[in-house]
Amino acid sequence: MKKTIKALKLTSVLSLITMAFVACDKDFSTLDSDIQGAQNFSTDSEKFPVIAYTKKFNPVQTNGLSSNLLGVYKDDIYGLTTASVVSQVSLSTYDPDFGDEPELESVILSIPYFSTAGETVDGETTYTITQQDSLYGDTPIKLSIYQNNYFLKDYNAENIEEYETYYSNANATINFDNHTGEPLFETDEFIPSPSEITLNDETDEEEKLTPRFRQELNNVNGFWEDLIFSKEGMSELSNDNNFKNYFRGLYFKASLADGATEGNMVMLDFSNATIEFNYTNETDELDDDGNPVREEQTLEMNFSGNRLNILENDASVTTLADADAAADPIEGNEKLYLKGGEGAMAVVDLFGGPDTDNDGLSDTYDNFIATYKEQRLINEANLVFHVDQTAGLNEEQEPNRVIIYDLKNNVPVVDYFLDLPDTSNPEYSIEYHSTILDRDSDNHGVKYKIRLTEHLNNILLRDSTNLKLGLMVTTNINEILQYSTLDSDDKLTSGTVMSPKGTVLHGSNENVAEENRVQLEIFYSELEN
């Protein structure tokens, strides 16, 4: 059901953009026809001031994500972020028949990491799990897995026509620590391994698995037999709704290991995660001693249904709160603080400055419309954001990608949809519109460039006032589904929710050196008189 909802949202967004382009296309054609035949053009560029400031996110929606973070991530600027997961579980087969005298063999949890395959030598494939893939940090953490006893509702209790929304602060509102059942696994030394996993069956046939968290779960006091075998033929195992109410899923709780000050965080692929309930039962065949031959069976569970991330920032680090309190929508700020998850974005107000005619729009904007609508053709328009290399950023922690959002319509700007997506390698997707972080010879971040050519043309041709944009970090620029924030109209992309990373950029305030200041630069053609 969640996937269907996402698809509808994305279809609606694309339909909106498509209609805008169809309408705009006529205007561009008209503008082009007006200058056909002209021979003498000059080209130049012009910079316009913008106003940019930090805006902290309220708790962010975290249910329905395509992937989930798990672990503890330490950022040199923003401190610790802890990510835990609560998920419902479904049976692959309902109303199962366990046969005669079933006996449990093992319960195996398997959740793949996002990894990159390297060379295969003698049948062994080498994999890597890097920060570009899904791993952040390299220090072991404490991981505990519990039975969850809190029911995750599908619908809002106050309005059954609305789906329930779960936010990153769920442990402040629900507190899943108060709803734990049986402890099913615990370790003080969890760290993802990039090793390929080899399984052998009774015939010594090998099965190769990509890197993943694969662990046998505890069977405390016959927990699993009682959970599954004892309910054969009963309503609890008869359908999905009954089962999810009966067994309410798992709680993956991450925390620092004893004495540790940092840890690791990994992106987990729950869409391909399973719980294998392995057992044997008696057959009609007899062995040499006259005993029934036992046959291996598996009942598989998957992680479909409601799933949410709990994101907890270190309360002692007030960087984001301080930046939000100091936000200056009039003059702009010297520094812009960006962080994924329950973090912050930079609000960019195009064509900032005074409004002497009190029409609600700056003099700079009025001049832009008057000059460009009649006399100039925009060839390219860019915002360049320079990294503040004095902020103490760790180059390994700097996000490679950012995304800019039209805050009026809560969608990426139109230039995003004109660029080329790459679903197989998101790291290099949409990179003409939003460039990959430019780094220096020491691997320190230097700048991001955002091209806004068609966004500016839309403003120009329609006298549009959708001038406020939101710049956010993203772990995957293809992830653009709308995610809400608690008690706020702010929206952010799903890729932003799933990113633990942050950065600090130079802002737009006049105290920022000209070469580092955020400005809108327009390259244009103009008919010579």
Q: Which of 141, 145, 146, 144 is nearest to 189 (CA)?
A: 141
What are the pLDDT digits (tens) for 404-437?
A: 999 999 999 999 999 999 988 888 999 999 999 9
Q: In angstroms, how far is CA 125 from the centroid of its own chain?
A: 28
What pLDDT, on a 0 to 100 scale, did the predictor assign at position 20? 45
| pLDDT at 238 exceeding the cut of 90 | yes
Average pLDDT over residues 216-232: 97
Task: Give the pairing of strands 180-190 and 141-148.
Answer: antiparallel
What are the pLDDT digits (tens) for 450-488?
A: 999 999 999 988 777 778 999 999 999 999 999 999 999
Q: Which residue has the higher pLDDT, 290 or 480?
A: 480
Per-residue confidence band for 32, with pLDDT thresholds at 50, 70 and 90: very low
What are the pLDDT digits (tens) for 181-201?
A: 999 999 999 999 999 999 987
Token digits of residue 329: 């929508």
CA–CA distance, 306 with 64 (Å, rounded to integer): 7
What pLDDT, on a 0 to 100 scale, did the predictor assign at position 460? 87
Q: Residue 369 forms beta bridges with which residues? A: none
| pLDDT at 103 exceeding the cut of 60 | yes
In the chain, where the domains are located: 37-60+318-527, 79-99+108-274+304-312
Query: Rg (Cα) of the chain, in Å, rounded?
Result: 27
User: Residue 35: is it exposed, middle or buried by C-beta count within 10 angstroms (0-12/13-18/19+)?
Assistant: exposed
Average pLDDT over residues 58-68: 96
The phi, psi pair for 383, rounded to 5°, reads: -110, 130
93 contacts 358 by C-beta, under 8 angstroms? no
The phi, psi pair for 241, rounded to 5°, reads: -60, -45
What's the DSSP call for residue 217?
A: P
CA–CA distance, 167 with 172 (Å, rounded to integer): 10
What pLDDT, on a 0 to 100 scale, did the predictor assign at position 8? 36
CA–CA distance, 519 with 523 (Å, rounded to integer): 13
Q: What percent of the chain has a predicted confidence (pLDDT) above 90?
A: 78
What are the pLDDT digits (tens) for 312-368?
A: 999 999 999 999 999 999 999 999 999 999 999 999 999 988 889 988 889 999 999
Average pLDDT over residues 15-19: 44
Quote the pTM value. 0.89
The mean predicted confidence, pLDDT, of the chain is 90
Dihedral class, residue 461 (left if φ above 0, else alpha if ψ from -120 to 50, else beta)? alpha
Q: Which residue has the higher pLDDT, 143 or 133?
A: 143
Per-residue confidence band for 16, with pLDDT thresholds at 50, 70 and 90: very low
| pLDDT at 497 exceeding the cut of 90 | yes
Q: Residue 465 forms beta bridges with which residues? A: none
Side chain identity, residue 415: D
User: Residue 29: is it exposed, middle or buried by C-beta count within 10 angstroms (0-12/13-18/19+)?
Assistant: exposed
What are the pLDDT digits (tens) for 136-176?
A: 999 999 999 999 999 999 998 888 888 999 999 999 999 99
CA–CA distance, 191 with 153 (Å, rounded to integer): 32
469 contacts 348 by C-beta, under 8 angstroms? yes
What pLDDT, on a 0 to 100 scale, did the predictor assign at position 250? 98
The position carrying tokens 């030394």 is 189
Q: Which of 462, 474, 489 is nearest to 408 (CA)?
A: 489
Per-residue confidence band for 489, with pLDDT thresholds at 50, 70 and 90: very high
Among the ranges given (15-29, 304-318, 389-403), the one the predictor scored with the smallest mean pLDDT: 15-29
Q: Which of 107, 368, 346, 304 is nearest to 215 (CA)?
A: 107
What pLDDT, on a 0 to 100 scale, did the predictor assign at position 157? 80
Average pLDDT over residues 498-513: 96
What pLDDT, on a 0 to 100 scale, did the predictor assign at position 123? 84
CA–CA distance, 14 with 481 (Å, rounded to integer): 11
Q: Positive or negative CA dihedral for 52, 58, 61, 66?
A: positive
What are the pLDDT digits (tens) for 297-313?
A: 999 999 999 999 999 99
Q: Positive or negative CA dihedral for 213, 219, 220, 226?
A: positive
* Cα distances (Å, whole numbers) of residue 216 to 110, 227, 273: 9, 16, 14
SS3 453: helix
The phi, psi pair for 496, rounded to 5°, reads: -70, -40
What are the pLDDT digits (tens) for 354-380?
A: 889 988 889 999 999 989 988 899 999
What pLDDT, on a 0 to 100 scale, did the predictor assign at position 159? 80
Side chain identity, residue 514: E
CA–CA distance, 74 with 133 (Å, rounded to integer): 18
CA–CA distance, 519 with 40 (Å, rounded to integer): 29
Per-residue confidence band for 286, with pLDDT thresholds at 50, 70 and 90: confident
384 contacts 377 by C-beta, under 8 angstroms? no
CA–CA distance, 314 with 80 (Å, rounded to integer): 5
CA–CA distance, 64 with 299 (Å, rounded to integer): 25
| pLDDT at 491 exceeding the cut of 90 | yes
Q: Specify the DSSP element, H or E, that contains 173.
A: helix 170-173
Where does 248-398 have alpha helices with state H? 319-325, 363-375
Side chain identity, residue 119: E
Average pLDDT over residues 19-31: 42
